[in-house]
Amino acid sequence: MFPLVTIAGEPFERGQQYGAATAAFIRHSIASYARLFAYRRGMDWDAVQQAALAYEPLLHDVAPDLLAEMQGIAVSAGRTLAEIIALNVRTELLAGVGGGFHHPEAAAALARNRATGVPQHQEQLPATPATGSDDGECTTAAASPPATANGRVWLAQTWDWQGDQRAACVLLRVSGPDTPTLLTLTEAGMVAKIGLNEAGIAVGLNLLRSRADGQQQGMPVHVLLRQMLQSTDTVTVRRLARHIPAAGSSCITLASADGELVALELTPTGIAEIPAQEGLLAHANHCLDGGTAAGECPLEPTSTTKERYGRAWELLHTAAGQIDLDVLQAILRDHDGAPRCICRHPDPCVAAVDRNESVCGVIIDLHGRTMHVAANIPCQAPFVPFML
């Protein structure tokens, strides 16, 4: 099970608590992303930190509280502020590079990392040549009345990514002086990912790819998710989503305890809203709106997004009117069409940097203010409840 870390107080103080509790997990995150940046960008970890520092002025302007929290994390975890910012803007710094690509300077970057003592995992060399990969990045299934049992609102998703990062996952409960208490499943050192708050707001995340990705600095999506979780109403959440354009494309699914359910497709060129249909909503890793789809990168042959999306819709429709925790557990554990399925297992013949799987599963009960978390491939772990 992932560790539960509770932090409270002013931003820097919260960061200190977070960093002290997760220093070893943050080291693991750095090992994962130092490797990934070397392979995808040909950048050593020092170069990544320099690129990350370019985001410091933006963070100071739009999220000074979270920048202070990052400073506290760095101090207590024994890392540089640049390293913590790098973890929180890793999506933006990697935007525009597809999965499976190995940069010609990767080996040199990895060698520089080893020479300077950057944390690393044991596996560094690819087990197979790079042939493209499906980065995955999650299947979402959500429901609200009239589709649910007992009038509840649910937001569920797999988080598909490199299996190495399972060892860096934490559940972070945050209490601040002026914001609602929130609970988020995230990667150590990062301020948020999937989560909910005591005001009845929940968010999920899916990766998208558009041709405009990575061309300019933009709002870091994990910082945006945290700001959304610090909000008390969906009007504020929508305003945050439109405040600054994204650097890379993603879909944030927004759910509220009062029944609102919508997918926000964010790209550097604009935002589209995909509303629920009769209380049902699904999303994977391709755009559903015609406008955002027009600028989308062509899907790789290895992509499974359309199969996973279609299967999620099929299962939701089949259970419409009766959707509850059991139904959503079954959806996240579904193997129909394997290996191109919702519950994704790793291919051991593929290098760790290219190997994606369902790292975990999350089901959020908005009315119960509870996250049910499977801390492994969903079919291999129980969904354990964590109350806000």
Strand order in the sheet with 280-283: 280-283, 140-143, 154-162, 356-365, 370-374, 384-387
pTM: 0.96
Beta bridge partners of 170: 186
Q: What pLDDT does residue 127 have?
A: 46
Residue of 160, 164, 185 lying closest to 28 (CA atoms): 164
CA–CA dist 371, 298 (Å, integer): 34
What pLDDT does 123 receive?
64
Q: Encoding tokens for residue 159?
A: 């988080």
In 256-324, which residue ranges form alpha helices assigned H by DSSP? 290-294, 305-318
Tally Cβ neighbours within 10 Å of residue 44.
Answer: 22
In b/e form, how buried is each residue of 325-356, taking b as 16+ CB within 10 angstroms?
Answer: bebbbebbbbeeeeebbbbbebeeebbbbbbb
End-to-end CA distance of the chain: 17
Place of tokens 């399925």: 341
- Give the integer Cα–Cα distance in Å for 24 and 384: 24
**Residues in Cβ contact with 136 at an 8 Å cutoff, skipping those fewer than 6 apart:** 160, 161, 207, 285, 304, 344, 356, 357, 358
| pLDDT attached to residue 254 | 98
Over its length of 388 residues, how does the chain's per-residue pLDDT go in tens digits? 999 999 999 999 999 999 999 999 999 999 999 999 999 999 999 999 999 999 999 999 999 999 999 999 999 999 999 999 999 999 999 999 877 789 999 999 999 999 999 999 986 454 454 455 555 679 999 999 999 999 999 999 999 999 999 999 999 999 999 999 999 999 999 999 999 999 999 999 999 999 999 999 999 999 999 999 999 999 999 999 999 999 999 999 999 999 999 999 999 999 999 999 999 999 999 999 999 999 999 998 889 999 999 999 999 999 999 999 999 999 999 999 999 999 999 988 888 888 899 999 999 999 999 999 999 999 999 999 999 9
Written as six digits, the tokens of 140 are: 């979402």
DSSP string, 323-388: B-HHHHHHHHT--TTTTSSSS----TTS-TTT-EEEEEEEEEETTTTEEEEESSSGGGS--EEEE-
89/109 Cα distance (integer angstroms): 20
Q: Which 8-state DSSP code applies to residue 4?
A: E
- DSSP letter for each residue of 174-239: EE-SSS--EEEEEETT-S-SEEEETTSEEEEEEE--BTTTTSS--B-HHHHHHHHHT-SSHHHHHH
Query: pLDDT for 41-98, tens place per residue?
Result: 999 999 999 999 999 999 999 999 999 999 999 999 999 999 999 999 999 999 998 7
